[in-house]
């Protein structure tokens, strides 16, 4: 890869939507990319649509945990390696599947994930900020929103 010149033309994106993603494995992968000449990498997470082909409601806690894991990966990686994180919101698993988790039901998840990334974590204060921004009285992260 180093000799091909590819690392000067592209930046790899590491995708993982798991709530329990392997932090050390991702750090090791970033180190491999660095040794190949890639100076920057991107992370790809999901705020909706990555937990089941027929999922209709968004389980915020799953996506929040994923983002908190990505923050751990970032904190254990060289400070100059992360170019950014793409928050994906999948609408369907393939073109033959029905739609899953439409955007309106996932907006609270998007807000929680963005606030967690912006604040470097999630706390009661972060939860209160999201509730205030969305005009909600009780944001649920471990159960489906009512």
- Residue of 10, 13, 19, 9 whose CA lies nearest to 109: 19
pLDDT on residue 55: 82
Q: Is residue 48 in some structural domain?
A: yes
pLDDT of residue 143: 78
In a domain, 120, yes or no: yes
- pLDDT, averaged in runs of 10, over the chain (146 residues): 92 96 98 96 94 85 97 96 95 82 92 96 95 92 72
Q: What is the pTM of this model?
A: 0.92
H-assigned helices in 1-146: 23-35, 60-75, 103-119, 124-134
Determine the Cα–Cα distance for residues 36 and 34; give it in Å rounded to an integer: 5
Residue 144 domain-assigned? no
Q: Which residues of 35-74 are buried (b: 16+ CB within 10 A; e: fewer)?
A: eeebeebebebbbbbbbeeebebbbbbbbbbbbbbbbebb
Look at residue 140 and tell me if it is in a domain: no
| The total number of residues written for the chain in this structure | 146
Range of the domain at 58: 2-134
- Residue 88 is predicted with a pLDDT of 95
Residue 109 lies in a domain: yes
Q: Is residue 145 part of a domain?
A: no
In angstroms, the CA 41 to CA 43 distance is 7
Q: What is the pLDDT of residue 63?
A: 96
Tell whether 107 is covered by a domain: yes
Say whether 47 sits in a helix, a strand or coil: strand
When divided into structural domains, the chain yields a total of 1
Residue 35 domain-assigned (yes or no)? yes
| pLDDT score for 135 | 95
């Amino acid at each position: 890869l180093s000799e091909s010149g590819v690392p000067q033309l592209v930046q790899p994106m590491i995708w993982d939507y798991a709530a329990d993603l392997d932090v050390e494995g991702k750090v090791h992968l970033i180190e491999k990319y660095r040794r190949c000449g890639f100076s920057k990498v991107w992370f790809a997470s999901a705020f909706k649509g990555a937990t089941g082909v027929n999922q209709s409601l968004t389980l915020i806690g799953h996506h929040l945990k994923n983002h908190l894991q990505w923050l751990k990966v970032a904190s254990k990686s060289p400070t100059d390696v992360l170019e950014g994180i793409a928050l994906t919101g999948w609408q369907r698993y393939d073109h033959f599947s029905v739609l899953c988790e439409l955007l309106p039901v996932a907006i609270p998840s998007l807000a929680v994930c963005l606030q967690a990334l912006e604040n470097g974590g999630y706390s009661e204060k972060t939860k209160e900020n999201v509730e205030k921004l969305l005009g909600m009285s009780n944001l649920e992260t471990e159960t489906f929103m009512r």
